[in-house]
């Protein structure tokens, strides 16, 4: 549906009143009505870099989810304020790893005498607490666009990796990019005693995967890939690495949102694409490329409900509050957590 013209006008006016004092970041899964006001759009990696590169903006309005805004707060100066237009914009995957659970797992590794060999790696999609844990324990943050580089770096530091919280990104990267066997990976379930793993399993594992996943990308199935290949001859299947292993294995292309956009931008006219990622992005791609056949990999609707919490009314409210001299929904990370989380984020930003 087209955006409410009054709200569009109010957002424009508030942004104009704030001028260079505000910088709006928009993740590719945001709604059209919101993304039109982003000064920069990107995947998680690009947005982290952009936040760090704007020291002059007094306010960063983050149109994305909570863990992204936390990372922006960590990467910006103390004087800058990061605003999340709706505090309910969380991420169910990030919520699947809680610091106390992760510390318990680490204690188990220590009691087995393997903790010194294990390098913790956390996907960007995790709380600042988890990033802080990783920074304190000589690990690194990664995103879907640098997971392979981060894992290669980690295997130079130790002999095992503890990958949080997305089992799929961890498994897909280890097996499909680095040549590990599925049997080299074990799944640590925080809801089972000892993670549900025997001492032998932990000692033998190369990659210890946290049992977390994305509820949006978890819905794409191998059946959907086979079905679209049968219906659309010559179709290219492109998916995000948060999809399940069998889906990623059956796809032709796999990568971050920024990668998916680039591949489709560069594809020849007339080509057909079944896209396995969030629906706002797939719809925008289809509208941007009327000369290509672009379809959603699953037939049922699949928005990320928390990304979608940021809508135009929330954005207008946040901008107008800033104009009025108040800072709404500020996201702050405490200094000690931020210090170690920044260590892990800086390690990521320094990867080749």
Which stretches of the chain bind ligand SF4, using CB under 6 A? 65, 91-93, 125, 214-216, 242, 278, 304, 306-307
The binder of ligand 13P chosen from 127, 172, 257, 337 (CB under 6 A): 257
Question: What is the closest distance, in whole angstroms, from the C-beta atom of residue 28 to ligand 13P in the complex?
Answer: 6
Helix, coil or strand: residue 121 = strand
Query: Cβ(64)–Cβ(310) under 8 Å?
Result: yes
Looking at the DSSP assignment, which residues form a beta bridge with residue 239? 254, 276
- Nearest Cα to Cα of residue 315 among 20, 26, 1: 26
- Residue 63 labelled as part of a binding site: no
d(CA 311, CA 46): 22
- Residue 124 labelled as part of a binding site: yes
Contact partner, 306, from ligand 13P, ligand SF4, none, Cβ < 5-8 Å per class: ligand SF4
Locate tokens 């399993």: which residue? Answer: 201
Question: What is the closest distance, in whole angstroms, from the C-beta atom of residue 243 to ligand 13P in the complex?
Answer: 11
The binder of ligand 13P chosen from 144, 146, 173, 337 (CB under 6 A): 144
- The 91-110 contact track toward ligand 13P, x by CB under 6 A, reads x-------------------
- The 36-65 contact track toward ligand 13P, x by CB under 6 A, reads -------xxx--------------------
The binder of ligand 13P chosen from 76, 80, 125, 280 (CB under 6 A): 125
# residues near ligand 13P by CB under 6 A = 13
Question: What is the closest distance, in whole angstroms, from the C-beta atom of residue 29 to ligand SF4 in the complex?
Answer: 6
Helix runs in the chain, H state only: 5-18, 32-35, 44-52, 66-75, 92-95, 99-112, 128-136, 147-157, 167-172, 199-204, 222-231, 245-250, 257-266, 279-288, 312-323, 335-349
d(CA 8, CA 10): 5
Radius of gyration of the chain (CA): 21
Query: Cβ(237)–Cβ(249) under 8 Å?
Result: no
Binding stretches for ligand 13P (CB under 6 A): 28, 43-45, 91, 125, 143-144, 214, 240, 242, 256-257
Annotated binding-site positions: 27, 44, 91, 123-125, 144, 214, 240-242, 257, 304
Annotated binding-site positions for [4Fe-4S] cluster: 91, 214, 304
């Amino acid at each position: 549906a087209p955006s409410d013209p009054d709200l569009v006008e109010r957002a424009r006016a508030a942004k104009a009143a704030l001028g260079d004092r505000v910088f709006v970041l928009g993740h590719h899964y945001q709604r059209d009505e919101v993304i039109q006001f982003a000064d920069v759009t990107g995947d998680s990696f690009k947005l982290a870099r952009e936040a760090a590169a704007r020291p002059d903006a007094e306010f960063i309005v983050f149109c994305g989810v909570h863990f992204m805004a936390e990372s922006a707060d960590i990467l910006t100066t103390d004087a800058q304020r990061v605003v999340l237009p709706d505090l309910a914009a969380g991420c169910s995957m990030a919520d699947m790893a809680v610091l106390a659970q992760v510390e318990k797992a680490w204690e188990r590794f220590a009691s087995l005498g393997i903790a010194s060999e294990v390098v913790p790696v956390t996907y960007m999609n995790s709380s600042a607490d988890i990033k802080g844990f990783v920074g304190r324990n000589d690990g690194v943050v990664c995103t879907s666009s640098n997971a392979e580089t981060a894992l290669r770096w980690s295997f130079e530091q130790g002999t095992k990796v503890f990958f949080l919280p997305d089992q799929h990104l961890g498994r897909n990267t280890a097996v499909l990019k680095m040549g590990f066997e599925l049997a080299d990976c074990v799944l640590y379930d925080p809801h089972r005693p000892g993670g549900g793993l025997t001492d032998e399993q932990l000692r033998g594992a190369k990659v210890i995967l946290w049992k977390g996943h994305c509820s949006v990308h978890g819905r794409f199935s191998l059946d959907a890939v086979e079905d679209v290949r049968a219906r659309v001859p010559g179709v290219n299947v492109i998916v995000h690495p948060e999809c399940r292993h069998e889906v990623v294995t059956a796809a032709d292309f796999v990568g971050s949102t920024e990668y998916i956009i680039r591949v489709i931008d560069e594809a020849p006219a007339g080509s057909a694409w079944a896209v396995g990622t969030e629906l706002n992005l797939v719809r925008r791609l289809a509208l941007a490329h009327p000369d290509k056949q672009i379809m959603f990999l699953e037939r049922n609707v699949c928005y990320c409900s928390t990304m979608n919490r940021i809508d135009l009314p929330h954005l207008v409210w946040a901008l107008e509050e800033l104009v009025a001299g108040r800072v709404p929904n500020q996201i702050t990370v405490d200094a000690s957590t931020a210090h170690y989380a920044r260590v892990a984020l800086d390690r990521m930003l320094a990867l080749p």
